[in-house]
């Protein structure tokens, strides 16, 4: 390890975890002691990461209010900033909330963080031009069984036990917050962006299974067979067509071949 690398690592350990090893590399001359000068950097760096965390999790920060400061401080101590852009700082917060003894007893917090981070990813995702219904209607009938779909880059799927999306929406808008609710069976959720607007909605179990298979590359014929297990052979073709139409109208499908 080079001398410069050692100084950089010791400096980072001081900023994140208060290590004093970096003092060995500094001159203590001047009117302001080295420890004081380092403290200024450390305070500013930690505060900036905490601000980024509050920005990336604004609904969670609003829910926790003053307690969010303690959460941010604990997370900053445990997690370095590993990205060039501070926009992506905090991607491990849901796991942190789920495993930390001070927060694991309130699992709604971890699920709210998962949902909020996913909504941020939806907004930041690349643009793509959706396939319209007229383009699909021109496909020859014999092609449909092997037809595969590519979905919009913003599409995200979550399975949540708690009503985190409703809580997030109430915290993000001037609305009264619903009471926390939990279900033994997780609710499937779909998140995506159309243009500059982000959307989310719950899914039935059948649509969630079908959508996940379609995103994984299953052809339309196999999606219909999968739906036979979910809704029965008689209803499967019409249900598959309904799902496909819904996805197309939402702008979720960007390629079909």
- Tokens 């000068």 belong to residue: 37
Closest C-alpha among 233, 214, 208 to residue 147: 214
Q: Domains of the chain: which residue ranges? A: 1-99, 106-257
Cα(127)–Cα(255) distance, integer angstroms: 13
- CA dihedral for 150, 151, 156, 160, sign (positive or negative): negative
Note the CATH architecture for domain 106-257.
Answer: Alpha-Beta Complex (3.90)
Residue 121 is predicted with a pLDDT of 97
Residue 122 is predicted with a pLDDT of 98
Residue 39 is predicted with a pLDDT of 66
- Check: CB of residue 68 under 8 Å from CB of residue 60: yes
Residue 43 is predicted with a pLDDT of 64
- Check: CB of residue 93 under 8 Å from CB of residue 117: yes
Token pair for residue 51?
A: 């601000």
- Three-class secondary structure of residue 250 per DSSP: coil
Residue 148 is predicted with a pLDDT of 97
Q: What does pTM read for this prediction? A: 0.86
What are the beta bridge partners of residue 256?
149
Tens-binned pLDDT, residue by residue, of the chain (257 aa): 687 888 778 777 766 677 777 777 777 666 767 666 776 666 677 788 999 999 999 999 999 999 999 999 999 989 888 777 888 999 999 999 999 999 999 999 999 999 999 999 999 999 999 999 999 989 998 999 999 999 999 999 999 999 999 999 999 987 788 899 999 999 999 999 999 999 999 999 999 999 999 999 999 999 999 999 989 999 998 999 999 999 999 999 999 99
């Amino acid at each position: 390890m080079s001398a410069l690398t050692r100084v950089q690592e010791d400096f980072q350990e001081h900023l994140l975890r208060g290590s004093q090893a970096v003092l060995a590399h500094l001159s203590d001359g001047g009117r302001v002691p080295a420890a004081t000068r380092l403290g200024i950097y450390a305070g500013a760096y930690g505060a900036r990461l905490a601000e980024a965390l509050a920005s990336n999790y604004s609904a969670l920060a609003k829910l926790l209010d003053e307690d969010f400061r303690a959460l941010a401080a604990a997370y900053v101590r445990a997690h370095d900033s590993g990205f060039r852009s501070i926009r992506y700082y905090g991607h491990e917060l849901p796991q942190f909330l789920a495993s930390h003894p001070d927060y694991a007893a309130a699992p709604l917090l971890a699920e709210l963080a998962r949902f909020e981070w996913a909504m941020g990813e939806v907004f930041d995702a690349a643009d793509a031009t959706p396939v319209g219904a007229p383009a699909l209607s021109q496909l020859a009938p014999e092609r449909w069984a092997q037809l595969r779909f590519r979905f919009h880059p913003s599409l995200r799927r979550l399975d949540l036990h708690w009503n985190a999306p409703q809580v997030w929406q109430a915290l993000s808008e001037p609305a009264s917050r619903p009471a926390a609710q939990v279900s033994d069976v997780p609710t499937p959720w779909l998140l995506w962006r159309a243009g500059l607007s982000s959307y989310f909605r719950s899914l039935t179990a059948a649509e969630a299974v079908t959508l996940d298979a379609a995103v994984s590359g299953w052809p339309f014929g196999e999606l219909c067979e999968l739906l036979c297990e979910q809704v029965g052979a008689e209803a499967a073709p019409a249900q598959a067509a309904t799902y496909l139409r819904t996805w197309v109208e939402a702008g979720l499908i960007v390629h079909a071949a």
